[in-house]
Amino acid sequence: MARPTASAPARTALIEAEHVSKSFPSADGPVLHVLDDVSVTLHEGEVVALLGKSGSGKSTLLRTLAGLIAPSDGEVRYRGMPLDGANPGAAMVFQSFALMPWLTVQDNVELGLRAAGVPEKQRRERALDAIDQIGLDGFETAYPRELSGGMRQRVGFARALVLQPDVLLMDEPFSALDVLTSENLRGELISLWAQPDFPTKCICIVTHDIEEAVLLADRVLVLGSGPGHIKAEVPILLPRPRDRRSPTFDQAVDRLYAILTGRDERSDAERAATPGPLTHPLPDASVGGLAGLIEIVYSHGGQADLPDLADELSFHVDDLLPLVDAARMLRLLEVEGAQAFLTDVGRDWYTADILRSKEVFATLAVEHAPLVATIIKALHNSDGGALRDDFFRDLLHRGFSAEDTEKQLDIAIAWGRYGELFDYDANTGELVLSEVAAALTALLMDGDTGVGS
């Protein structure tokens, strides 16, 4: 009997998340909002991918569906029953393998069965069947340290599958593996899924790789960030096995790139009234990385297809998109769909000599990077044009975790130092306004810098 497709009528709902929000208190004071009003239903007979940039709450959502994290608001149900603990119908496969190093392969696979109170003989039979199914027969007595990364992940698969779960939840299970091993395991997973006697009825996989989502999923849920929310739902109506070289595959990839690189209209509308460093964080991109991206787009005639560019550079979406976001923020690139276009100011920055490129970058950073502009204005209004970095750290703590606060401050300092907007003494933590920044601040307050508008 053929497995039902994602478009089949009257599909059974296995896991439902309804209006789920999740916030975490942080050690340094502010509440971190990770998910906001997320509703997701996983049906029998489908593979669903959760796709999004770093910080969009993908893994938190997956753990909420698994019952490992309780929502702050909303409800998660398994087969109609609200969860009040671990989901009895779900099993997890983790990116980090999460094996017990002191246990053999067989003992690791038996862990969940032991916790469920399954008798020893039945545990052993089911574990050996799962080990054989996932291609690890002969390694039952091996320890994790004796296995390659791909083999350790196979153990993770077997440990989940031995539970015969309704839903297999997978948190970037291939991202820690090399390309060939990842491709192999993806193919084997789909082969298992195609078997009519495969006990698992639904797979939900978190990924940052667009092609992986298109290869595996019947439906892709694209998450936006700040906090995490469902930005789009994209059906993948391609027969299996899927051919990466087909035009329809390329179209699906392009569509997802366009969604991920496009403006988040909900966030834009909410943020437009109060633009600032807390509402428009700096993308995690170095000046060198930006320069490299602009150089590549310039070498492509000023226009580049982002999926092709990522493939050419062997990048994942999480590697490329922060650079694209930073280039857009600074008006170096414009993005339409999955196409990136070099702007006039981007061309000017790339083709200028080093002094002129610093001037252009400084102006763009003051105009369009809110945290950099905040630092410059604060220094301008301080006695002697100097402030400690703790002043800005305290401001950022109102909207970011401690880790993200440091990341934002590091990016702003790196951008500002490149543009010679201020000096920074890492020993004392003091930022000192430069003459360049003083002149730019005066122009900024007049509302006309003449660059990047």
Residue 5 lies in a domain: no
Residues 323 and 439 in one domain: no
204 and 309 co-located in one domain: no
pLDDT digits (tens, 9 = 90+) for 338-348: 889 999 999 99
Q: Do residues 376 and 248 share a domain?
A: no
- Of the listed ranges 116-120, 293-297, 301-305, the one predicted with least confidence: 116-120
pTM over the 0.85 mark: no
Separation of alpha carbons 178 and 173, rounded Å: 12
Check if the beta carbon of residue 76 is closer than 8 Å to that of residue 65: yes
**What whole-number distance in Å separates Cα of residue 343 and Cα of residue 289?**
17
> Could you report how far apart the first and last alpha carbons of the chain are, in Å?
61
Backbone φ and ψ for 365, nearest 5 degrees, come out as -65, -40
Confidence of residue 1 (pLDDT cuts 50, 70, 90): very low
pLDDT tens per residue, range 134-154: 888 888 889 989 988 888 888
Q: Considering its fold, how many domains does the chain have in total?
A: 3
Residue 282 lies in a domain: no
Rg, Å, the chain Cα set: 25
Laid out side by side, the sheet with 333-336 consists of 303-305, 339-342, 333-336
116, 107 contact by CB (below 8 A): no
On whether both 145 and 173 belong to a single domain, the answer is yes
Residue 47, CA distances (Å) to 9, 26, 56, 77, 357 in order: 16, 34, 20, 18, 48
CA distance 175 to 62: 16
Q: Which of 300, 327, 349 is the last residue before a domain boundary?
A: 349
Q: Where a domain ends, among 300, 333, 349? A: 349
Percent of the chain with pLDDT over 70: 89
pLDDT over 80 at 438, yes or no? no
Same domain, 160 and 61: yes
User: Does residue 8 fall inside a structural domain?
Assistant: no
Band of pLDDT at residue 81, cut at 50, 70 and 90:
very high
Give the residue-averaged pLDDT of 430-447: 69
Name the residue with higher pLDDT: 453 or 95. 95
Residue found by looking up tokens 């790789």 in the block = 209
Is 280 within the bounds of a domain? no
Confidence label for 65 from pLDDT (cuts 50, 70 and 90): very high
Is residue 61 pLDDT above 50, yes or no?
Answer: yes
Amino acid at 121: K
The amino acid present at 11, given as its one-letter code, is R
Q: What is the pLDDT at residue 434? A: 85
pLDDT surpasses 90 at 30: no
Check residue 22 and give its pLDDT: 92
Residue 268 pLDDT > 50, yes or no?
no
Each residue of 240-263: pLDDT tens digit?
A: 888 888 889 988 988 998 888 876
User: Residue 7 falls within a domain, yes or no?
Assistant: no
C-alpha 168/C-alpha 192 separation (Å) is 12
Same domain, 186 and 131: yes
For position 453, what pLDDT does the model report? 41
The mean predicted confidence, pLDDT, of the chain is 85
Q: What's the mean pLDDT in 426-433? A: 90
pLDDT at residue 274 is higher than 80: no
Dihedral in degrees, nearest 10, Cα atoms 93, 99, 104, 108: -50
Residues 6+ apart with CB under 8 A from 142: 104, 105
Q: Which two tokens stand for residue 10?
A: 């009257």
User: Of the residues 261, 296, 323, which one is the last residue of a structural domain?
Assistant: 261
Judge if 203 and 344 occupy the same domain.
Answer: no
pLDDT category, 67, cuts 50, 70, 90?
A: very high
Question: Are 338 and 368 within one domain?
Answer: no
**pLDDT of residue 412 exceeding 80:** yes
Residues 111 and 142 in one domain: yes
Rounded CA-CA distance 75/65 in Å is 10
Choice among 152-161, 214-223, 325-334, 411-420 with the minimum mean pLDDT:
152-161
The mean pLDDT of 310-332, rounded to a whole number, is 84
CATH number for the domain that contains residue 153: 3.40.50.300
Q: What are phi and psi of 95, to 5 degrees?
A: -60, -40
- Domain range for 342 is 287-349
User: Is pLDDT of 187 > 60?
Assistant: yes
Check whether 28 has a pLDDT greater than 60: no
Residue 202 has pLDDT above 50, yes or no: yes
Q: Is residue 239 part of a domain?
A: yes
Same domain as 311, residue 436: no
The whole-number pLDDT of residue 245 equals 84
Q: Tell me if 211 is assigned to some domain.
A: yes
Q: Is residue 421 a part of any domain in this protein?
A: yes
CA–CA separation, 107 and 109 (whole Å)? 5
Region 214-225: mean pLDDT is 93
Average pLDDT over residues 148-161: 88
The percent of residues above 90 in pLDDT, for the chain, comes to 42
Same domain for 181 and 97: yes
117 burial type by CB count under 10 A (0-12 exposed, 13-18 middle, 19+ buried)? exposed
Beta strands at 13-25 and 422-425: parallel, antiparallel or unpaired: unpaired
How many Å apart are CA 121 and CA 202, to the nearest integer? 28
| pLDDT given for residue 39 in this prediction | 95
Q: Which residues are within 8 A (CB) of 384 and not within 5 positions of it... i.e. 6 or more apart?
A: none
Same domain, 232 and 371: no
SS (H, E, C) the chain: CCCCCCCCCCCCEEEEEEEEEEEEECCCCCEEEEEEEEEEEEECCEEEEEEECCCCCHHHHHHHHCCCCCCCEEEEEECCEECCCCCCCEEEECCCCCCCCCCCHHHHHHHHHHHCCCCHHHHHHHHHHHHHHCCCCCCCCCCHHHCCHHHHHHHHHHHHHCCCCCEEEEECCCCCCCHHHHHHHHHHHHHHHHCCCCCCCEEEEEECCHHHHHHHCCEEEEEECCCEEEEEEEECCCCCCCCCCCHHHHHHHHHHHHHHHCCCHHHHHHHCCCCCCCCCCCCCCCHHHHHHHHHHHHHCCCEEEHHHHHHHHCCCHHHHHHHHHHHHHCCCEEEECCEEEECHHHHHHHHCCHHHHHHHHHHHHHHHCHHHHHHHHHHHHCHHHEEEHHHHHHHHCCCCCHHHHHHHHHHHHHHHHHCCCEEEECCCCEEEECHHHHHHHHHHHHCCCCCCC
